[in-house]
């Protein structure tokens, strides 16, 4: 069984033009809607690429908004797949135009009986695992703010604020080998602040760089807050997983999606948060049975990236970054109890398929993210 996660980069804009929801050239964020010819070409390219990837379960990020639009896209671009939807009238609790969907290959859909866990169940389990999380899907975060006190401007203070998922994670559950399996699909909110800052030069002292510009100072406060929120979202996902361990001894769970952060600590994490998002999500090695394995842990370093991005704040950081992830519980390891197992080197970034597709379909036709896949096989013995 092959699981794949892929961020398809604002697919709603192109499908919306093809479906007639948007007019070509219509004012949309972050760019105006494409022409009909451009939209049709890209949708065809995305459909061909999905066929080349040939996953059994595909988690698609930045996909069309709303069940009707996504159903139309799936029928046109991925006819070999069933779209897993909630009952009509049920809220997915996703804001904006970058929705998340699971597609399951038709020839296994009847066998594995895929369905989405109700949002109410997801939220209840998260809340039961942590006193900080409410059953309505909100929690508090303490974040820095720049506040004015009389004539004194931009005073840094800490403020507790209510936060929630901009895009509520969607949990797919399915049956295989007489056991229940879950796939938590997430697209965490971007840490982008929308504030443009001057590029920091390699070797430039960070304190001097910050002190020289009010814009940079405000950016640092906004970026710190965005990182706190992002990290808290990972902890809420972790709370759900911890609760599942209170219900089953060895639950078979995969977490995948665009988490908008990766392993290792960049400037904000080294000097302000002192942790990285993936560590929050994986858990603690001290509690080894609950620790999540990363699908790419045994891949070479130079292949562990899914996007290219130059950081104006951290210019010495490599531009190849890993934003898209697949992690799994110990149940799916060689020593686990799940009827499915991830063998050595079972996870990979789809570099070859992506570059083959671009060679055939044209550069820029697919996405600014590359997919990540994990192959699970039946456990024997």
CA 340, CA 121: separation in Å to the nearest integer? 25
What pLDDT, in 10s, does the model give residues 330-349? 999 999 999 999 999 999 99
Torsion of CA 311, 317, 318, 319, to 10 degrees: 0
Burial class (CB in 10 A: 0-12, 13-18, 19+), 248: middle
Q: How far is CA 287 from CA 99, 129, 169, 186, 233, in A?
A: 34, 16, 24, 24, 21
Who's near 128: CB < 8 A, 6+ residues apart? Answer: 243, 246
**Chain-wide mean pLDDT for the chain?**
92
Q: Is the pLDDT of residue 83 over 70?
A: yes
CA 294, CA 287: separation in Å to the nearest integer? 16
Inter-residue contact 173 to 115 (CB < 8 Å): yes
Q: Which of 26-40, 49-63, 188-202 has the lowest mean pLDDT?
A: 188-202
What pLDDT, in 10s, does the model give residues 157-201? 778 889 999 999 999 999 999 999 999 999 998 766 678 888 888
Burial class (CB in 10 A: 0-12, 13-18, 19+), 104: buried
The pLDDT, as a whole number, for residue 138 is 98
The pLDDT, as a whole number, for residue 192 is 67
The candidate with the shortest Cα–Cα distance to 104, out of 180, 178, 172, is 172
The candidate with the shortest Cα–Cα distance to 245, out of 374, 128, 339, is 128
What pLDDT, in 10s, does the model give residues 133-158? 999 999 999 877 777 888 887 777 77
What pLDDT, in 10s, does the model give residues 86-125? 999 999 999 999 999 999 999 999 999 999 999 999 999 9
Q: Which of 33-42, 155-164, 353-362, 369-378 has the lowest mean pLDDT?
A: 155-164
Inter-residue contact 34 to 17 (CB < 8 Å): yes
Q: How far is CA 321 from CA 154, 303, 352, in A?
A: 33, 10, 17
* Number of domains the chain contains: 1
Range of the domain at 40: 2-378
Buried b / exposed e over 335-362, threshold 16 CB at 10 Å, is ebbbbbbbeeebbbbbeebbeebeeebe
Give the CATH number, domain containing residue 290. 3.60.10.10
The pLDDT, as a whole number, for residue 218 is 81
Inter-residue contact 57 to 183 (CB < 8 Å): yes
Give me the mean pLDDT over the 46-71 stretch: 98
What pLDDT, in 10s, does the model give residues 258-315? 998 755 546 766 676 656 788 889 988 778 899 999 999 999 999 999 999 877 777 7
For residue 78, name the pLDDT band (cuts at 50, 70, 90): very high
CA 141, CA 6: separation in Å to the nearest integer? 29
* Residue scoring higher pLDDT (212 or 268): 212
């Amino acid at each position: 069984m092959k699981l794949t996660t892929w961020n398809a980069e604002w697919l709603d804009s192109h499908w919306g033009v093809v479906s007639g929801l948007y007019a070509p050239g219509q004012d949309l964020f972050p760019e105006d809607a494409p022409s009909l010819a451009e939209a049709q070409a890209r949708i065809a390219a995305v459909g061909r690429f999905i066929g080349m990837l040939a996953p059994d379960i595909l988690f698609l990020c930045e996909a069309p908004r709303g069940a009707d639009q996504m159903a139309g896209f799936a029928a046109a671009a991925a006819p070999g797949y069933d779209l897993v939807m909630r009952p009509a009238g049920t809220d997915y609790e996703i804001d904006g135009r970058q929705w998340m969907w699971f597609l399951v290959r038709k020839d296994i859909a009847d066998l594995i009986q895929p369905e989405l866990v109700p949002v109410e169940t997801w939220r209840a389990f998260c809340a039961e695992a942590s006193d900080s999380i409410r059953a309505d899907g909100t929690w508090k975060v303490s974040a820095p703010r720049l506040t004015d006190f009389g004539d004194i401007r931009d005073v840094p203070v800490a403020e507790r604020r209510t936060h929630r998922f901009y895009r509520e994670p969607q949990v797919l559950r399915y049956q295989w080998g007489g056991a229940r399996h879950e796939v938590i699909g997430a697209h965490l909110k971007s840490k982008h602040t929308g504030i443009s800052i001057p590029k920091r030069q390699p070797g430039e002292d960070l304190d001097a760089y910050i002190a020289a510009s009010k814009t940079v100072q405000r950016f640092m406060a906004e970026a710190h807050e965005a990182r706190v929120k992002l990290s808290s979202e990972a902890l809420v996902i972790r709370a759900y997983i911890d609760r599942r361990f209170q219900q089953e001894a060895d639950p078979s769970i995969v977490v995948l999606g665009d988490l908008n952060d990766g392993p290792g600590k960049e400037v904000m994490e080294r000097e302000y948060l002192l942790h990285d998002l993936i560590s929050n999500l994986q858990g603690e090695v001290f509690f080894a049975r609950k620790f999540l394995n990363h699908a790419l842990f045994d891949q070479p370093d130079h292949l562990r990236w899914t996007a290219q991005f130059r950081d104006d704040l951290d210019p010495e950081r490599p531009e190849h970054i890993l934003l898209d992830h697949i992690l799994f519980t110990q149940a799916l390891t060689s020593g686990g109890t799940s009827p499915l197992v991830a063998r050595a080197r079972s996870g990979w970034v789809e570099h070859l398929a992506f570059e083959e597709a671009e060679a055939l379909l044209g550069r820029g036709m697919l996405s600014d993210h590359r997919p990540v896949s994990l192959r699970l096989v039946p456990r024997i013995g």
